[in-house]
Amino acid sequence: MNQEELLIAKSLEGDMKSFETLVNLYKDKIYSFLLKMTLSKEDSDDLLQETFICVYKNLYKYNDKWKFSTWIYKIATNLLKNYWKKNKRLRTRELSQFPLDDLYNDSNNPEIKYENKENCLQILKILNELNYDYRIAFVLKYVKDLSIADIANITGTSPENAKMRLYRARKKYVTSLKSIRRS
């Protein structure tokens, strides 16, 4: 039994310290994912809290057939999808409201800092234009480095459908990036 399995077992027995350790193992990764999807610290904080409340309430339903991280991402994704439907404003959030400092490295060199910020703005602009299904597949693959099988499980689609969403997201991303670079 590895450390994660032990923490899950102890959490199921009511050991709050073990559950807190599980939360600490995943909270930064999930928060980063949510932040890239919502472009809002406040919304990401709320969704992160809701995610771990759901994890706690449903831990007994976890099936070790999948990685624990995949299961948590699936919960976060389901909450995000519901939140997205309720809050149409997430689709058109102004990029100026996005906390860019969380994305690019704080360099002492002002030129590098400016270039990093500009690159982040371009990437966020393109991500903001992708529809929900393409954006989530793109972020899970290229930001979170998850496998096609994990993406399919998280999004509730087949691996073939996940691949198609990634293909279309990449195609739109490249087209948009070329358009931005030309202008």
Q: Quick one: pLDDT at residue 65?
A: 87
> How many CA atoms within 13 Å lie on the side-chain side of 78?
14
- Phi (first) and psi of residue 105, to 5 degrees: -70, 140
- Phi (first) and psi of residue 13, to 5 degrees: -85, 0
Residue 178 has pLDDT above 90, yes or no: no
Work out the average pLDDT over 20-29. 95
Kindly report the CATH class assigned to 1-93. Answer: mainly alpha
Residue 94 has pLDDT above 50, yes or no: no
Q: Quick one: pLDDT at residue 110?
A: 64
Work out the average pLDDT over 97-106. 49
pTM of this structure: 0.69
Q: 76 and 47 in contact (C-beta within 8 Å)?
A: yes
Rounded CA Rg of the chain: 18
The number of residues making up the chain comes to: 183
Three-state secondary structure string covering 48-86: HHHHHHHHHHHHHHCCCCCCHHHHHHHHHHHHHHHHHHH
